[in-house]
Amino acid sequence: MSDELKQVTHIDNVRLGDDEKSVVIIDQTQLPNRTVYLTLRTAQEVYDAIKLLQVRGAPAIGICAGYGIYALARQWDLDDPAAFAAKFHETAEYLNSSRPTAVNLSWALKRMEGVVTANAGKSVAEILDLLGAECRAIHQEDIEMCRKISEYGLSLIKDGDGVLTHCNAGPLATSRYGTALGPLFLGKEKGMNLHVFADETRPLLQGARLTSYELQKAGIDVTLICDNMASIVMKNGWVQACFVGCDRIAANGDAANKIGTSGVAILAKHYGIPFYVLGPTSTIDLSCPDGDHIPIELRDPSEIREKWYAEPMALPEVKCYNPAFDVTDHSLIAGIVTEKGICRAPYTESLAALFR
């Protein structure tokens, strides 16, 4: 693997601080212009980092929350296991309220809480050691899942293909390789020539700021387009597949991802291009029957009116609707690529089979 490729795919976007009482993240809001690392030491700092998208991408926020709650618990001066468990639960609820859509956040916090519950008879010191092992396992498993997803995803495309992606589902959003971008990095590693069209992804520009940055740095042929250019690029015959990540997949295969994803899927259907959703099984929520039950985060209107502009581009009193995610109907999805294989319709059966 070339050094450039390794620098991108093996980036340390989230890690436990050396003192095990803090979490160190790359501040994704400052990319691509500055690479700044932040050290998070308080519950409020972890909450804000997730809420403000300094750390973002479904798997990455799960990893950050796992490390975060462990680092916070290491700071508490509590010897009584019952008092420790109560504070742990309260802190998990607080961190979980930072963003509602990506199920990986609650999934990781539930895993951490499960360690506390299952070891109620042990001392706080013993529980802390087990929590340290659990958050490291969450991270390590994600690295392995991303690698497998990359391999399955790569089996869906061939040398010379064009792939369109939306938002950012690369190493910054996960751990090594990423999900939707994983096959592209792996293809590069194997010497394939792939052409990627990255939607800029309004309003927060994850495609421009993060996806085109990661791909360009890795030496992959990437073309940045505005979201409203996807149709012409598809019509020109430049796209053979769409690869996107996901924040929560319901039991019937409906998949929530960054706002605008469902529009890409509708266009892809029109042009006869297969549309694939790539994500780890930690993003599948079988307790959620369909997309109508996925909570959609609404964000600050200022992200539409004024963020990124030298001066506001709309009157302050103009109404804005700013949902951060939308749901792609399962009927538009050609396959859901997980670390356990590629699920096809009917998803109610193929997704459930992953957990048997």
Tell me how far, at minimum, the Cβ of 298 lies from ligand MRU, in Å: 12
Q: Which of 92, 169, 208, 215 binds ligand MRU (CB under 6 A)?
A: 169
Closer of 102 and 156 to ligand MRU (Cβ): 102
Q: What is the CB neighbour count within 10 angstroms for residue 355?
A: 9
Instruction: Please report whether residue 153 would count as binding ligand MRU according to CB under 6 A.
Output: no
Taken as a whole, the chain contains a residue count of 356
Residue whose pair of structure tokens reads 């079988």 in the numeric block:
286
Q: Strands 275-278 and 195-199: what pairing?
A: unpaired
Indicate the helix (H) or strand (E) that contains 38. strand 37-40
Tell me how far, at minimum, the Cβ of 317 lies from ligand MRU, in Å: 26
Closer of 247 and 254 to ligand MRU (Cβ): 247
Which one of 2-10, 124-132, 166-174, 226-234 is the stretch in contact with ligand MRU (CB under 6 A)? 166-174
Tell me how far, at minimum, the Cβ of 247 lies from ligand MRU, in Å: 5
Binding positions for ligand MRU, 251-280, rule CB under 6 A:
257-258
Residue nearest to ligand MRU (CB): 245
Tell me how far the alpha carbon of residue 86 is from its chain's centroid.
29
Contacts 24+ apart (CB under 8 A), 66-69: 66/108, 66/109, 66/111, 66/112, 66/134, 66/135, 66/138, 66/139, 67/14, 67/15, 67/16, 67/23, 67/135, 67/139, 68/23, 68/40, 68/43, 68/95, 69/95, 69/109, 69/112, 69/131, 69/135
Instruction: Please report whether residue 327 would count as binding ligand MRU according to CB under 6 A.
Output: no
Closer of 13 and 124 to ligand MRU (Cβ): 13
Which one of 168-176, 230-238, 286-294, 326-334 is the stretch in contact with ligand MRU (CB under 6 A)? 168-176
Instruction: Please report whether residue 167 would count as binding ligand MRU according to CB under 6 A.
Output: yes
Q: Which of 173, 186, 220, 249 binds ligand MRU (CB under 6 A)?
A: 173
CA distance 62 to 114: 15
Closer of 98 and 179 to ligand MRU (Cβ): 179
Q: Strands 248-250 and 284-285: what pairing?
A: parallel
Closer of 69 and 324 to ligand MRU (Cβ): 324
Tell me how far, at minimum, the Cβ of 315 lies from ligand MRU, in Å: 26
Closer of 132 and 207 to ligand MRU (Cβ): 207
What amino acid is encoded at 38 in this protein? L
- The residues pairing with 26 across neighbouring beta strands, listed in sequence order, are 37
Provide the token pair at 168: 């950012």
Q: Would you please indicate which residues are annotated as catalytic (active-site) residues?
A: 247
Binding positions for ligand MRU, 14-73, rule CB under 6 A:
53, 56-59
Q: What is the CB neighbour count within 10 angstroms for residue 110?
A: 13
Which one of 244-252, 269-277, 302-310, 336-344 is the stretch in contact with ligand MRU (CB under 6 A)? 244-252
CA distance 335 to 343: 6
Taking the CA atoms of 86, 55, 146 and 296 in sequence, report the sign of the dihedral they define: positive
Closer of 124 and 222 to ligand MRU (Cβ): 222
Tell me how far, at minimum, the Cβ of 104 lies from ligand MRU, in Å: 8
Radius of gyration of the chain (CA): 20
Instruction: Please report whether residue 245 would count as binding ligand MRU according to CB under 6 A.
Output: yes
Tell me how far, at minimum, the Cβ of 333 lies from ligand MRU, in Å: 14
Instruction: Please report whether residue 324 would count as binding ligand MRU according to CB under 6 A.
Output: yes
Chain contacts with ligand MRU (rule: CB under 6 A): 53, 56-59, 102, 167, 169, 173-174, 179, 206, 245-247, 257-258, 324
